Structure 1
Amino acid sequence: MNTSRLLAAISLGACLLLTSTAFAQEAIPAEQAVRHVGKSGMVCGKVERTRHAQNTEGEPTFLYMGGSFPRHTFSARIPGNIRDSFRPSPEELQGRDICVIGSIERDASRAEIAVNSASDIKLANIR
């Protein structure tokens, strides 16, 4: 490979690396999500409890994180109309580490993300 092609390949690689790094989101611990209300972000933590509110309008499923229910600091709200698109199911996420991507809003004294699609929740490896 000649020098100009090598330099072009290195430049392209560096450009791709910088682009992917610029769009990577920093993980916000569920316990600190309330500090980021009004911003978009990726909140990560262990799902302590799940609850399918079948008798509530929209039949949402809640994933409680950032401490034990009812003293949790964060919840992800999954609307009932997209509940069936989750694999694993929302209830199977209990006890697992996940990251939720979206707009962080306030719900009482807690932070919450209203989940728009199954792709907004990712299984995570949190140490």
Structure 2
Amino acid sequence: MNTQSLLAAAVGALIALATGPVAAQDMIPAEQAVRHVGKSGMVCGRVDRARHAQNTEGEPTFLYMGGTFPRHTFSARIPGSIRGNFRPSPEELQGKDICVVGNIQRDASRAEIAVSSPSNIKLADIR
């Protein structure tokens, strides 16, 4: 079993404990999210970088996944209006393995989910 398969299996097990049954085939690796644009899904991976764009309209926070910024393949966009609702804070997710649930859209050559609630992000504590 390769590392990505192991990661997917571990994330699936942890999410199932927290939220109920989740099929491993329903998890989309961040590197493959662009293949699922226009669909709802659960994109999983490590947050390479978290960035609060204070000088951008709406002051969003971006969680970059699927590679090293700026060559990442996926981002989760958290509007500034709800970032205060997150515990842990979005910046504390940097370096953590998470899954983001929502409608997968295209942003330039990448995929993105616009997060509408803290419940759209599930923290997976993989050891």
Quickly name the TM-score band, shorter chain normalised.
Answer: 0.7 to 0.9
TM-score, reference length from structure 2: 0.79
Q: In terms of Rg, which structure is larger?
A: 1
Are 1:34 and 2:16 an aligned pair? no
- Say if 2:96 and 2:125, in contact at 8 Å, map to a contact too: no
Are 1:96 and 2:79 an aligned pair? no
- Say if 1:39 and 1:103, in contact at 8 Å, map to a contact too: yes
Q: What is the identity percentage for the equivalent residue pairs of Structure 1 and Structure 2? A: 81
Q: Any unmatched runs of 5+ in structure 1?
A: 1-19
Q: 1:55 and 1:49 mapped to 2: Cα distance?
A: 18
Sort the Cα spacing of 1:56 and 1:37 in 2 relative to 1 into closer, same or farther, 3 A.
same
Q: 1:61 and 1:126 mapped to 2: Cα distance?
A: 24
- The residue number in structure 1 matching 2:68 is 68
Are 1:77 and 2:58 an aligned pair? no
Are 1:112 and 2:102 an aligned pair? no
Query: How many positions carry a matched residue from both structures?
Result: 107
Q: 2:106 and 2:126 mapped to 1: Cα distance?
A: 24
- The residue number in structure 2 matching 1:124 is 124
- Say if 1:45 and 1:97, in contact at 8 Å, map to a contact too: yes
C-alpha displacement of 1:109: 0.2
- The residue number in structure 1 matching 2:49 is 49
Aligned-CA RMSD value: 1.7
C-alpha displacement of 1:88: 0.3
- Say if 2:30 and 2:73, in contact at 8 Å, map to a contact too: yes
Divergent runs of 4+, >3 A: none
Which runs of structure 2 are paired with 1:16-27 in the superposition (5 Å)? 26-27=26-27
| 1:4-55 deviation line (CA, Å, top 9, x unaligned) | xxxxxxxxxxxxxxxx76x757110000000000000000000000110001
